[in-house]
């Protein structure tokens, strides 16, 4: 039997820095990356554009199963149209969190996500990577940060893009999204029992990346050896 593909899962709430950390860890290891949140965002965006009712779980699952998506060197295309930025808006994030609460949609995206695990390895970023999608991953990280710090990071990001927002509105939105992600009945946001929990509130990206790579070197000495 072929050796299982090594997987590092990085789960956590929005704004914890997962995406940035996952991309840097994948780069250093020379592994593939799965941004699972982008898949939920794509389903939300496609549903809104097609006028699908957000209460119609079956229609949303059908949409998720046949999504005409292309990933091309960091850019994302939906039905031929570039949506790299369109899926990053607050509306798309909230739509993603709504469709993500439906078991039918999660099921439709499961095989697609598992398909990403190809040699030499995968860094998977999301909410349920370590608990549901890759429960046997040898390295599981749960990245957290206070809601205020996560809102502050998002605020800075939006300001840099010239988007005017109110910080306390952002804190409220982040807390609302967290509540929905943590309390849903299917695949709720929580650390896997064997996850290493890292609180990034007072840490730099580089410090978090180093802690993740240390965990990789401990559990997967061969993978750590190939670092760039």
Residue 36 near ligand C5P by CB under 6 A = yes
**CA of 50: how far to CAs of 7, 38, 92, 186, in Å?**
35, 18, 14, 25
175: Cβ contacts below 8 Å, ≥ 6 apart: 147
List the one residue from 14, 16, 131, 200 that touches ligand C5P (CB under 6 A).
Answer: 14
List the one residue from 6, 17, 22, 97 that touches ligand C5P (CB under 6 A).
Answer: 97
- The count of chain residues that interact with ligand C5P, using the rule CB under 6 A, is 14
Subset of 118-147 contacting ligand C5P (CB under 6 A): 126-128
Task: Give the SS3 label for residue 125.
Answer: strand
Structure tokens at 214: 């240390």
Subset of 154-183 contacting ligand C5P (CB under 6 A): 177, 181
List the one residue from 6, 17, 93, 121 that touches ligand C5P (CB under 6 A).
Answer: 93
Residue 37 near ligand C5P by CB under 6 A = yes
In the complex, the smallest distance separating the C-beta of residue 163 from ligand C5P, rounded to whole angstroms, is 16
Q: How far apart are CA 227 and CA 219, in angstroms?
A: 14
Q: How far apart are CA 168 and CA 174, in angstroms?
A: 10
DSSP line for 189-208: S---TTPEEEE-TT--HHHH
Residue 24 near ligand C5P by CB under 6 A = no
Q: Judged by CB, which is closer to ligand C5P: 201, or 214? A: 201
Query: What is the contact surface with ligand C5P in residues (CB under 6 A)?
Result: 14, 36-37, 40-41, 93, 96-97, 100, 126-128, 177, 181
């Amino acid at each position: 039997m072929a050796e299982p593909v090594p997987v590092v899962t990085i789960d956590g709430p929005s704004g914890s820095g997962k995406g940035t950390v996952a991309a840097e860890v994948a780069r250093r290891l020379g592994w593939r990356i799965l941004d699972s949140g982008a898949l939920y965002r794509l389903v939300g965006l496609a549903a809104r554009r097609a006028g699908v009712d957000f209460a119609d779980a079956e229609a949303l699952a059908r949409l998720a199963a046949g999504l005409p998506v292309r990933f091309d060197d960091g850019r994302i295309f939906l039905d031929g149209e570039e949506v790299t930025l369109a899926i990053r808006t607050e509306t798309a994030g909230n739509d993603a969190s709504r469709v993500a609460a439906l078991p039918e949609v999660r099921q439709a995206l499961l095989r697609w996500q598992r398909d990403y695990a190809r040699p030499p390895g995968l860094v998977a970023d999301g909410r349920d990577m370590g608990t549901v999608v890759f429960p046997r991953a040898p390295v599981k990280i749960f990245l957290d940060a206070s809601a205020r710090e996560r809102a502050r990071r998002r605020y800075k990001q939006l300001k840099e893009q010239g988007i005017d927002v109110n910080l306390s509105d952002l804190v409220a939105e982040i807390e609302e999204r967290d509540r929905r992600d943590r309390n849903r009945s299917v695949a709720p946001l929580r650390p896997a029992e064997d996850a290493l929990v890292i609180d990034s509130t007072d840490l730099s990206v580089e410090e978090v990346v180093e802690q993740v790579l240390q965990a990789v070197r401990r559990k997967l000495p061969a993978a750590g050896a190939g670092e760039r």
